[in-house]
Amino acid sequence: MRSLPYFCRGLVIRGFGRGSKDLGIPTANFQESVVDSLPADLNTGIYYGWGCVGNGAVHKMVMSIGWNPYYKNTKKSMETHLIHKFKEDFYGQMLSVVLVGYIRPERGFSSLDELITAIRSDIEEAQRNLDLPEHLKLKEDNFFRASLSTTSNQIMNGH
């Protein structure tokens, strides 16, 4: 895909609350402006890459971009699952991600169990792929260091 790697950052907003509740797989939702600025040639589906919250550590992640056919969403969303156990929610914080690879298109599922199985499989594939040297190097990208302090300051000063 031409648009990869794709770097973006934005505030984490409250989603539908289904990731944690229904699936046991918490996700962070980007604000609409981040979703609206996705490149036109970036297909909907499941991606993997790296992400970090605020100035925190960089973690492996999977992201769903699209309408979540299982839930029949009417708005396109970007839902990031950082493969890390966080002690608390991080609504209102800055999330920085780089999408490095594509796993599969989004599709409908006949049951919640089937959806959960697919997500777990996506997470396993992401973890394997991100250990490849060409993907590991993006974990160290200056994107996660350089502009974070300036971005955080702009957000803080804006409030």
pLDDT tens for residues 116-127? 999 999 999 999
| 157 pLDDT higher than 80 | no
Taken in order of first residue, the domains within the chain and their CATH numbers are 6-142 (2.40.30.30)
pLDDT at 59: 97
Amino acid letter, 129: N
- How far apart (Å, rounded) are the C-alpha atoms in residues 37 and 134? 26
5: preceding bond cis by omega (within 30 degrees):
yes
- Please report which confidence band the pLDDT of residue 21 belongs to, taking 50, 70 and 90 as the band edges: low
pTM of the predicted model as reported, rounded to 2 decimal places: 0.86
Token pair 């919640």 is found at 112
Token pair 């973006």 is found at 8
User: Residues of 59-91 as b/e, b for ≥16 C-beta within 10 angstroms?
Assistant: bbbbbbbbebebeeeeeebbbbbbbeeeeeebe
pLDDT at 8: 95
Q: Is 134 a catalytic residue?
A: no
- How far apart (Å, rounded) are the C-alpha atoms in residues 29 and 80? 6
pLDDT at 34: 94
Identify the three-state secondary structure at position 116.
helix
Contact 63, 78 (CB under 8 A): yes
Q: How many residues does the chain have?
A: 159
Query: What number of H helices and E strands is found in the chain?
Result: 5, 6
- For residue 84, what are the contacts with CB-CB under 8 A and spacing of at least 6? 57, 59, 60
Exactly one of 32, 79, 125, 140 is catalytic; name it.
79
Mean pLDDT, all residues of the chain:
86
| 3 pLDDT higher than 90 | no
- How far apart (Å, rounded) are the C-alpha atoms in residues 111 and 57? 34
Q: pLDDT tens across 69-116, in order?
A: 666 767 889 999 999 988 888 889 999 999 999 999 988 888 989 989
Contact 115, 27 (CB under 8 A): no
